[in-house]
Every structure is written in structure tokens, then in C-alpha cells.
Amino acid sequence: MAESNGRAFSAEVKDLGDKIVALTVAKAVELGDYLEQVHGIKAAAGVAVAAAAPAQAQAAAEAPAPKTEFTGSLDGFDQAKKIGVIKVVREIMSLGLAEAKAFVEGSPKPVKENIGKDEAEALKKKIEEAGGKVSIK
């Protein structure tokens, strides 16, 4: 049994307490909803916030900054639609016909790097409509 301020706690209670403190804010809210709906236990707001605050601070410290730059890569293409893919890649990358053909045939290759999410999604949609296979990283 673990002790705190002269009081002994069982390993089971200590483990449960440590798990609750480690919850993210979203998971703490989900736990509160579960306890209320399934067991009829309504948690006091101060308790839920107090338990979630350390976890939120820890999650914020560990969470990397949201990704803002993406790379759209041509991973392959449908052979039957090769000409369409070449035309779209040529337009997007401002390449000549021979360069675009060589680029498409040499896939997988990045089409555009360090672009915003919206631009990457638009690029993906355009190439996939032409018959290419695109991934965004």
C-alpha cells in the first residue's frame, strides 16, 4: 500500500487515480458523461476540471505544433489514363511535355512541397480525377 500524508492507499486505488490524472480534457469529459449516463453519478464540475487541468497541461507540453506545410506526391497512375495525368502534372508544375512525361513515369515523386493543406487537397483531387494516385504527407 502506498502512503500519502499518513494515509495508506491500495495499489488499485493509486493506479486508478494515476489513470484519471493522465486523462486528456476530452477523455475526462467522456468519463464524466459515462459515469452519469451508465451509473447515474454526476461529477462535481470542480473535480472534473481539477483532474483534467494537469493532464491538459501535460498534453499541451507533449503535443507538437499542428502541421501547416504538406507535400503532395504522385505515387502512381492508371496506365489507361497516363496522358491525362501527364497533362495535369504538366499544368501544375509548369513543365514541358517531355519533362512531365518523364516525371509521371518516374513516380513516386513529390509534385509540390511545403504547401498549405487546402492547396495539397486541391492538387490531390485534380491529379486523382485525371487517374493518378496521390498521397499527402
Q: Encode pLDDT of 6-61 as tens digits.
A: 678 888 888 888 888 787 877 877 887 888 888 888 766 545 455 555 555 555 55
The answer to whether residue 77 scores a pLDDT higher than 60 is yes
Provide the mean pLDDT of the chain: 79
Nine-digit cell string for 76: 502512381
How large is the average pLDDT for residues 102-110? 87
| Those residues with Cβ within 8 angstroms of residue 100's Cβ, 6 or more apart along the chain or in another chain | 86, 87, 89, 90, 93
| Residue with grid cell 490524472, as numbered in its chain | 21
- At 4 the three-state DSSP class reads strand
**What is the pairing mode between strands 2-4 and 7-9?**
antiparallel
Domains of the chain from N-terminus onward: 2-62 (no CATH), 70-136 (3.30.1390.10)
Peptide bond into 110 cis (omega under 30): no
The two beta strands, 132-136 and 109-115, are unpaired
- pLDDT at 57 (0 to 100): 55
> pTM higher than 0.75 for the full model?
no
Name the maximum alpha-carbon separation found in the chain.
Answer: 80
Answer for the pair 88, 126: CB distance below 8 angstroms, yes or no: yes
Q: Would you give the DSSP letter of residue 63?
A: S
Answer whether residue 66 shows pLDDT above 80.
Answer: no
Phi then psi for 106, rounded to 5 degrees? -95, 10
